[in-house]
Structures are given as C-alpha cells and as structure tokens.
Amino acid sequence: VFMLSLQTTGLVGLAVAENPHERLRILYTKILGVLQNIPKDAAYRKYTEQIVTERFDLVKKETDVQKLQDKLNSGQIEEVIVQAENELSLARKMVQWKPWEPLVEEPPSDQWRWPI
Amino acid sequence: TVRPKNEVEHKQLCAFGEYVAEILPKYIQQVQVTCFNELELLIHPDGIIPVLTFLRDHTNAQFKSLADLTAVDVPSRQYRFEIVYNLLSLRFNSRIRVKTYTDELTPVDSAVPVHQAANWYEREVWDMYGVFFANHPDLRRILTDYGFEGHPFRKDFPLSGYVEV
C-alpha cells in the first residue's frame, strides 16, 4: 500500500516533525523559563525574550504549517525547531558564563594597533 | 577601477557589531568594520568558547560554519600570537572574524567542542606557531616532518630552516 502523505524536509538527517506547534511551544516555554535566571537588565535576556515571544506569538496564531514557515521566514519548520533547541542550550550555558558582567581584562595598549 | 563602497552593508555590519558587543561585554574588547565591509570582534582569550558558542547558537547570529582558523605572529607585542577565527552564517549569508591573543607559553581553549572543523586547523597552528590548545582531542604535528624541531611560521624562524637538506 503506498502512503499518500509521503513527506520529506529535503535536508539530509532532518526528519519531518509531526506536531511542530507542540514541540515549539514546549521549547519556547523552556527558553523563557531559563531566561528568568538572568538579571533583568542583561542585553542577552532582553533581546532573546523579544525574539522568542515574537516567534511564540506567531506559532500560537498560525495553525497551518506552510503559512507559519512563510511568516517566520527562517527556513523549514524543522530547522526552526533545531534553532530553538540551540537557543535553549545557549541560554543554559549563558547562565553559567554570565557574559553581561564588565570586561574581564583590558588588552595591552599595543595589542590591537594596526599597522604596528 | 575602485570597488564601489556599499554603505548599506557597512551600516548593517556596524549595527550587528554593536548588538553583539552589547550582549557580551565581558569578553569583547573592540569591534571594528574594515573598509571592505568585514566585521571583526577582538576578544579576551577567556571568551573564546562563550563567544563562538553564542555566534553559533543564537537566533540572530547562526554562524554555523567555521571557515578558517589561523594565527598571526607579531613578535614586538607582549602577546605575540593573534588567533583568528573566520565564521560564515549560511542563514544570513554573512561573515564575521573573531580575534584573540596569546603568547608562546599560555594555552588557549580549543574550539573543537564548538566547531568540529577546528580540529586540524588547531593542529596546524600548534605545529607552525607553537600555540597550545587546551582540551584538544589530538594535538600533534600535522605538516612538519616527524622529528622536526621548531615552529616554522614564527618570525624568528629562518627561511631555509636550521637543518641542511
């Protein structure tokens, strides 16, 4: 029996996601949860919350997968899922690294001078 | 003929450079955009892994591809070696350069946990310059002969070497 809804992402190693809205909902909620552990005035938290809430609202409003892909304008929906997973792992690492603190150490004055 | 100046791209790169510098003030010492529209981030060596991971994973950056990893030797400086990472973003079709510094004896964090492509590039930098990469899976010589002594690309290494062939 031939399956009528045979789909493919067209990308090697990336399987078609069944129920992408649910997966994205979970991921975006997790990211926003991790971001709560960062100080409110950190630029990373500000910008990432902006990006995530923007995408989350689009996911909540749009139920059709094709139209959602066009609105997000960021490649296939499976790529958007991979990107959200990357952002989640990055947010967890940022909580450890704390990059919003001031500069660790100034370079020597001739370090970045060019021509020497 | 002269290459025409692309003001729009220049402004976009300046804006992105300011964006990254605002998010990572702990490690970024300077940001510059060359006249040929190339964005460069100048980093403290402790920030290699955070900055490269940020540039790879963040939604507005997505620099998934490590195009090049080299070093530059400027013997007159206190930290003579400048490590240069060239990254490419396929999603946004954009390139960025990340530069760090070190001297002969201070090890530098390996970029292999972030980009697998850095493996042989770091072996080459170790072999040619003598920069040690901590946490590298397999740091050994790659281009010089098996018993070769010295690091050929350093400025104080003579052109025809020390051994007669």
User: How far does the CA of residue A101 sit from the closest CA of chain B (Å)?
Assistant: 5
The predicted complex's ipTM stands at 0.92
Tell me the pLDDT of chain B averaged across its residues. 95
* B65-84 per-position pLDDT tens digit: 999 999 999 999 999 999 99
Q: Give the nearest chain B residue to A82 (CA atoms).
A: B57
Residue A87 to residue B59: CA distance in whole angstroms: 7
CATH superfamily of B7-134: NADH:ubiquinone oxidoreductase Nqo5 subunit (3.30.460.80)
| H-run or E-run covering B84 | strand B81-89
Q: Give the nearest chain B residue to A55 (CA atoms).
A: B59
CB contacts under 8 A, B 85-124 vs A, are 91, 99, 101
Tell me the pLDDT of chain A averaged across its residues. 91
Q: Which has the closest alpha carbon to B127: B43, B68, B70?
A: B70
pLDDT attached to residue A3: 44
At residue A103, does pLDDT exceed 50? yes
User: How far does the CA of residue B5 sit from the closest CA of chain A (Å)?
Assistant: 22
Domain boundaries, chain A: 43-96
Q: In degrees, to the nearest 5, what angle opens at C-alpha B41 toward C-alphas A82 and B58?
A: 15
* A23-75 per-position pLDDT tens digit: 999 999 999 999 999 999 999 999 999 999 999 999 999 999 999 999 999 98
pLDDT attached to residue A2: 44
pLDDT attached to residue A33: 96
For residues B14-41, give the mean pLDDT: 95
Q: Rounded to 5 degrees, what are φ and ψ at B51?
A: -65, -45
User: How far does the CA of residue A116 sit from the closest CA of chain B (Å)?
Assistant: 8
Q: In degrees, to the nearest 5, what angle opens at C-alpha B90 toward C-alphas A20 and B101?
A: 120
Q: Give the nearest chain A residue to B32 (CA atoms).
A: A112
At residue A4, does pLDDT exceed 70? no
